[in-house]
Amino acid sequence: MTKEFTRQSGRKPDEIRPISAKVGIIPNADGSAMFQSGKTIAIAAVYGPKEHHPRNQRNPARGTLRCTYNMMSFSVTDRIRPGPNRRSTEISKIIEWALEPIVMLDKYPGLVVDVHIQMTQADAGTRCAGINAAAMALAHAGIPMKDLVSSIAAGKLDKTIVLDLDKYEDSEFEEGEGSTDIPITFTSDGKLTHIQVDGHITTEQLKQAMKMAREASKKIYEVQKQALKDSLGGGK
Ligand code: ADP
């Protein structure tokens, strides 16, 4: 375990923010879900499988997963200029890569499954919350999947490995040792579908970060699974 370290939020190094999830929040979508982690809120809506336009992007051998990530203008204190930008384009791709290993796209040759991910509030960890919401929305849409995925960021505050940095922590340690951010996505049986390492970290620290994130992903999975059960009216 990591050494004694005080976080501004009072959380322990391996303590994630309070999480909640809800499935079936957008009646017009084929599948939808919300995932909240602290003050970060993601909603995801799935449309499809449907005809793939533009046609020249069709893959005749398998379906295409098309994710679109967006932070709403008032998701942060300073209004964000609406429309896609470099960051949102990159995160959209990353979300696709994190989800593709679990979605059975071979069932839909030539078609597209559209996943729209909107951040209504952004307090760091948005790509992870977006992935968590999108995985639930895909399951809710009835898209065949091998598993769910659960995503969480590890990071380094000064020299301590912690989970789930909020925006305050992210900004406070932006310079120097503390700037490492490691979003990681796991299947329910602990297989990795996505990892990014932004900053410096030793091999040992990375191993520790992955171990902590893998444990936390199990808690996230339970919340996602329960939300899906609740949407079926199944309860516990
Ligand atoms: P993630 O949200 O996945 O952690 P980043 O590290 O890029 O991705 O962003 C961290 C946080 O910084 C976001 O969750 C958000 O709170 C804030 N942020 C990102 N882009 C902007 C922006 N253009 N304006 C204001 N805040 C932003």
| Single pTM value for the model | 0.95
Please write the tens of the pLDDT for every residue from 189-215. Answer: 999 999 999 888 999 999 999 999 999
Instruction: Judge whether 94 lies within some domain.
Output: yes
Instruction: Judge whether 236 lies within some domain.
Output: no
Instruction: Judge whether 178 lies within some domain.
Output: yes
Question: SS3 for 146?
Answer: coil
According to DSSP, the residues that pair with 157 across neighbouring strands are: 160
Please write the tens of the pLDDT for every residue from 86-143. Answer: 999 999 999 999 999 999 999 999 999 999 999 999 999 999 999 999 999 999 999 9
Query: 171 C-alpha to center of ligand 1: Å?
Result: 10
Q: What is the DSSP secondary structure assignment for residue 100, as one 8-state letter?
A: G
Print the domain residue range for 29: 19-224
**What ligand 1 atom has the least distance to the C-alpha of 130?**
3
**What ligand 1 atom has the least distance to the C-alpha of 198?**
6
Cα-atom radius of gyration of the chain, to the nearest Å?
18
- By percentage, how much of the chain surpasses pLDDT 70? 94
Query: 153 C-alpha to center of ligand 1: Å?
Result: 13
Quote the number of domains for the chain.
1
182, 153 Cβ separation under 8 angstroms: yes
Instruction: Judge whether 235 lies within some domain.
Output: no
Query: Measured from the CB, is residue 195 less than 6 Å from ligand 1?
Result: no
Query: Measured from the CB, is residue 39 less than 6 Å from ligand 1?
Result: no
Cα angle vertex 196, ends 170, 81, to 5°? 55
| CATH (domain of 27) | 3.30.230.70
Instruction: Judge whether 11 lies within some domain.
Output: no
Query: Measured from the CB, is residue 164 less than 6 Å from ligand 1?
Result: no
Instruction: Judge whether 141 lies within some domain.
Output: yes
Instruction: Judge whether 113 lies within some domain.
Output: yes
Residues, the chain, total? 236
Question: SS3 for 52?
Answer: coil
Instruction: Judge whether 232 lies within some domain.
Output: no
Query: Measured from the CB, is residue 167 less than 6 Å from ligand 1?
Result: yes
